[in-house]
Amino acid sequence: MKANAKNKKQSYWRLLGRQFLRNRLAVAASAILLLLLLTALSAPFLASGQPIYLIKDGKTYWFSNVVTQRDLANFDFRTWERKPGDYGIWPVVHYSPEESSLRNRLEPPSRSHFLGTDDRGRDVLSRMIWGTRISISVGFVAVGISVFIGIIIGALAGFYGGKVDMIAQRVIEIMMCIPVFFLIISLIAFLPPSIYNIMGVIGITGWTGVARLVRGEFFKLRASDFATAARATGLSDRRIMFRHLLPNALGPVLVSATFGVAGAILTESALSFLGFGVPPPTASWGEILSQSKRYIDFAWWLVTFPGAAIFITVTAFNLVGEGLRDAMDPRLRQ
């Protein structure tokens, strides 16, 4: 026991973390993802037409960039004549993503618009920042839904086998025969345009991979001695499935979910590009990209920046997924 006392309290996840940290590329990708997550969370502080803090006409306003202040909602700060004692702190980019200005249409990047403007004179950087929110949340929520469905169906099929498994397998096969993207487009066509519908549709069409993965793991695990021991202890099926088997099957699911987020972000961008995405005027990377179709001959900034954002995000998620997968592979462990 003395020998083991050194590496005391090493749960599986801790070991996994240590292994993951050795993969420099995956760690760099995680840093990028963290940055994106922070961008998404702090979007109102990074890009908004409203000030964070303002003293105007002797009145003090806090966080009008987050909470709508009635006095300021329709106030045009561009034509604002400062009186003495007036003071304001603005976000880094002081344009709201939906604020259009027809005089400034399709302006190339400049000091006032770092990444230029689109065909309605909206600031591209501001739209990119807010688009991060859409991409990240669509990615996570959609994958959350598909992982949830996948785990339930896969767990039932793998644990009970027999008829339950037969039915689940056939359903999965049918789902896999349908080209998912066209299914999504057809479903979206019937639904009112909303970001929640997009999340839901991507979620309920994407669970088959996770279900097969969980089913396979459960098939293997349910025959293990510790599962038999749990049954011999008299535990309920539900407890054996979710307390004993699931934690052991979670690793591969996590890997698959990470790749899934990348896929979902790509799908959302594609939908927005085709005009089936988030309803206007909401900003999304795919939507900015779709504008570029018409102006591609000169408005390079409309292609480059959202394209790069999608590419970097998807690549980062894939790299993290690969890092996790390698960290879990016992063959690569020394």
Binding positions for another protein, rule: CB under 8 A: 1-4, 6-12, 224-226, 228-236, 243-244, 247-248, 334
**81 vs 225, which CB is nearer to another protein?**
225
Q: Please state the closest distance from residue 261 (CB atom) to another protein, in A.
A: 24
Is the distance from CB of 317 to CB of 311 less than 8 angstroms? no
**194 vs 224, which CB is nearer to another protein?**
224
Alpha carbon distance 92, 108 (integer Å) = 19
Q: Please state the closest distance from residue 167 (CB atom) to another protein, in A.
A: 15
Q: DSSP letter at 83?
A: P
**18 vs 293, which CB is nearer to another protein?**
18
**113 vs 244, which CB is nearer to another protein?**
244
**36 vs 213, which CB is nearer to another protein?**
213
Q: Please state the closest distance from residue 222 (CB atom) to another protein, in A.
A: 12
Closest CA to 46 of 102, 14, 91, 1: 91
Q: Please state the closest distance from residue 101 (CB atom) to another protein, in A.
A: 56
Q: Please state the closest distance from residue 178 (CB atom) to another protein, in A.
A: 24
Is the distance from CB of 100 to CB of 80 less than 8 angstroms? no
Closest CA to 117 of 307, 310, 299: 299
Record the tokens describing residue 25, joined without a space: 């590329």
Closest CA to 156 of 270, 246, 68, 67: 246
3-state secondary structure at position 119: coil
